[in-house]
Structure 1
Amino acid sequence: MEWFKVVAFVVCVLPTAHCASDSIAWCYHLPSCNDTTWPRISPQYCSGSRQSPINIVSASATPNDKLTEFTFFKYDNTSAMTSIENTGDTVKVTLKSGVKISGGDLSEQYDSLQFHLHWGNGSSVPGAEHTVDGKRYPMELHIVNSKSSYNGNTSLAVKDSTGLAALGFFIEVMPGNSTGQPQSWRNLTSYLANITQKGQKVSIAAGFSLDDLLVGVDRTKYYRYLGSLTTPACNEAVVWTVFKEPIKVSKDLIDLFSTTLHFNDSMSPLMTNVYRSLQPAQKVWTQSIKASASTTCFSLGLLLLSLTLGWSWS
């Protein structure tokens, strides 16, 4: 989860030792700052016991009838995405004020602040952060949400064990030989050519929504666990929701991320393999089978009732 390229807090390994500056420099691609070094450069959390991402073992997920459906506010708004930026380690899309989520056993309403992506090296070298039963998808999209009571102040949110809620969506290659599909992803990736270098940022024109980008995903089916930011400072402040069904995007659009963007300027390496290694397992929950069965039985009951009434009227 790309949260901040530079994390604003002071790091002191020992009380009398020299402190780093008010930021932590980290990366994915250099031995001096890749994820093997994060527990050293950001020891407070990156070496903690509640770290993300993880491998989700579907058969071990514990049923929880509190994991209800989410309510998504303004996810259908075609002007909710304001800008897209190359941060030097991902693509980040900033969202307008008023985009929110609730439900899903969250303690309160959360503001949707931004989303970003993780990928490997083209569609053939997967780079999603989470895995399910050992399977890694080509890409993963993270929507970052902060408790509405913090009014967008992420400095406060990261100090709260449930201050942030992350929605993780896998992305897989669309079956067949389609290109440029779906249209919403063609729209999004059309901006990549304008942000090839670190720090470049452009406005997004109205015309497609978050719902459009999440097309085809049943958002009632998901996994839940308590984890962390997946980049330094790795704060253990995240309620993770990882949706079971992937977004399907054509191969050519997935490949654009690893063939268009650079870590720094145009002479620097292409931005590839931007994901953190798997961390130790955490307890994972999923929807209650009983609750799902009850919904199915209720639906079947209504169908049978309507058929019975239909026969009686005939």
Structure 2
Amino acid sequence: MLKKPTAVISSLTMPWVALLEGMAFSPEAFSEDRERWSYSGKRGPAYWATLDDDFASCGQGKNQSPINLTQLLDGELPEIELHYPTQGDKVINNGHTVQVNFPSGNILRMEGQAFELKQFHFHSPSENTINGQSFPLEAHFVHADKRGNLAVVGVMFEQGAANEGLQPAWNQLPLHAGGQETLDVPIDATKLMPSSLEYYRFNGSLTTPPCTEGVRWLVLKEPVSISKEQVEAFQRAIPFDNNRPVQPVNARVIVQ
């Protein structure tokens, strides 16, 4: 169990988002999703809202993610607890990112609520920035409660020593869109977490279409290490920048 201090959570509800940023994976969904949007050109982020009526929030939403975390408000932040006893067993290249899927049983607890870890995936360079600073890689740990409310934990990676926690997935990294592997060595999500779980808190959205809002965002303050070679391996699997540009903060408050 990880139990460490961390931000103020408002009670938000939202409908179940079927893909949870690509959680569900099938050849049919993969093919259709690849055709609907991308990170560049006429299907890139600037055009997402025009590609499908379901993507309207990408252009009309007022609480969109990612953001630049700045002008932070100090607050008394409740703890989060991570109970991650089960291990990730599948790594997938869905054409937009690389993600690791998890069986049931991994729980994030915050303010008396339980959110189950569904998957984590990566963006390079980072989508969120901290006081304007970008990082070579950011992981998003996507959790959902029983009603479909989402909580995403963001972890920043800074270049340094190799990350041993990542290596089981990197050893079998699918290099082509549509590839998936069952991991020989399951991955332990706790090994990707920094020593401190202090975080920044804000209300946001999915960072990919349909850009649905009502997502609890918890971006951990302390980055973890990743080697230059590991970043380059990810970039071979996803050979383009897969980060949505930062969005206006508008009236939101970012608590630390």
TM-score (norm 2): 0.82
2:9 matches 1:39 = no
RMSD of Structure 2 on Structure 1 (CA): 2.4
Letter in 2 for 1:170: M
What's 2:245 paired with? 277
What pairs with 1:16-55 in structure 2 (closer than 5 Å)?
A: 25-29=36-40, 31-42=41-52, 43-47=55-59, 48-55=61-68
2:162 matches 1:184 = no
Question: How far apart are residue 217 of structure 1 and its match?
Answer: 3.7
For residues 74 and 35 of structure 2, the distance between their equivalents in structure 1, rounded to whole angstroms, comes to 39
Kindly indicate whether the alpha-carbon contact (under 8 Å) linking 2:50 and 2:56 is maintained by their aligned counterparts in 1. no
SS at match of 2:38: coil
What pairs with 1:228-239 in structure 2 (closer than 5 Å)?
A: 228-239=205-216
Question: How far apart are residue 109 of structure 1 and its match?
Answer: 0.5
For residues 81 and 24 of structure 2, the distance between their equivalents in structure 1, rounded to whole angstroms, comes to 32
Using CA pairs under 8 Å that are at least 6 residues apart, name the structure with larger relative contact order, 1 or 2: 2
What's 1:3 paired with? 21
2:185 matches 1:172 = no
Kindly indicate whether the alpha-carbon contact (under 8 Å) linking 1:89 and 1:274 is maintained by their aligned counterparts in 2. yes
Letter in 2 for 1:277: P
For residues 272 and 231 of structure 1, the distance between their equivalents in structure 2, rounded to whole angstroms, comes to 15
Alignment CA distance shift 1:234-1:146 (3 Å): same
Which ranges of structure 1 fall in alignment gaps of 5 or more residues?
8-20, 120-126, 151-156, 158-162, 263-270, 287-314
SS at match of 1:231: coil
Kindly indicate whether the alpha-carbon contact (under 8 Å) linking 2:128 and 2:134 is maintained by their aligned counterparts in 1. yes
Kindly indicate whether the alpha-carbon contact (under 8 Å) linking 1:5 and 1:87 is maintained by their aligned counterparts in 2. no
What's 1:310 paired with? none
Letter in 2 for 1:72: L
Question: How far apart are residue 131 of structure 1 and its match?
Answer: 0.5
TM-score (norm 1): 0.67
Alignment CA distance shift 1:23-1:183 (3 Å): closer
Question: How far apart are residue 5 of structure 1 and its match?
Answer: 8.9
For residues 249 and 172 of structure 1, the distance between their equivalents in structure 2, rounded to whole angstroms, comes to 6
Q: Deviations over 1:228-259 (max 9, x none)?
A: 00000000020000011111111111111112
For residues 49 and 195 of structure 2, the distance between their equivalents in structure 1, rounded to whole angstroms, comes to 35
What's 1:141 paired with? 139
What's 1:84 paired with? 91
Is the strand fraction higher in 1 or 2? 2
What's 2:179 paired with? 200
Question: How far apart are residue 285 of structure 1 and its match?
Answer: 0.8
What's 1:253 paired with? 230
Identity of aligned pairs, percent?
Answer: 27
Kindly indicate whether the alpha-carbon contact (under 8 Å) linking 2:144 and 2:150 is maintained by their aligned counterparts in 1. yes
Kindly indicate whether the alpha-carbon contact (under 8 Å) linking 1:223 and 1:242 is maintained by their aligned counterparts in 2. yes
Question: How far apart are residue 86 of structure 1 and its match?
Answer: 0.4
Give 1:117's match in structure 2, choosing from 115, 122, 139.
122
For residues 258 and 22 of structure 1, the distance between their equivalents in structure 2, rounded to whole angstroms, comes to 20
For residues 277 and 84 of structure 1, the distance between their equivalents in structure 2, rounded to whole angstroms, comes to 25
Letter in 2 for 1:3: E
Which ranges of structure 2 fall in alignment gaps of 5 or more residues?
1-18, 26-31
Alignment CA distance shift 1:41-1:278 (3 Å): same
The farther-off stretch of 246-255 and 108-117 is 246-255
Aligned length: 227
Question: How far apart are residue 186 of structure 1 and its match?
Answer: 2.5
For residues 22 and 34 of structure 1, the distance between their equivalents in structure 2, rounded to whole angstroms, comes to 13
